[in-house]
Copies of this chain bind each other. A is one copy, B any other.
Amino acid sequence: MTSSDLQEQLNLKALNLLQEDADKIQKLIEVQMENLATRYCPLYEEVLDTQMYGFSRQVDYAVRVGLIQESTGKQILNKLERNLALLYEAMNNKE
């Protein structure tokens, strides 16, 4: 394997792992969205904020190691943050 093959392979793995983690958070957001009307859990907001913090640290680290582009990292984070904002808006409207 050449070094550029390896770099490509590592970058892809780094990105796929981040995407997996982002999907898990997205799933948490969706579950809470679906359950807004039925069983609201007040701890959800804290859990999601903690998850987002941990995830943003992973993204930041991947950028610093040079495994993903800064813009790619921002894109993944922004998408999750937008969906999270929508959830919080829906939660506030419920109150």
Give me the interface of A with B, judged by CB distance under 8 Å: 1-3, 5-7, 10, 13-14, 17-18, 50, 53-55, 57-58, 61-62, 64-67
| Chain B residues closer than 8 Å to A10, beta-carbon distance | 10, 65-66
| Chain B residues closer than 8 Å to A3, beta-carbon distance | 1-3, 5-6
| Chain B residues closer than 8 Å to A66, beta-carbon distance | 10, 13
CA gap between A58 and B58 in the complex, in Å = 5
**A25 to nearest B CB, angstroms?**
12
8 Å CB contact of A61 from B5, B6, B50, B61: B61
| Chain B residues closer than 8 Å to A17, beta-carbon distance | 61, 64-65
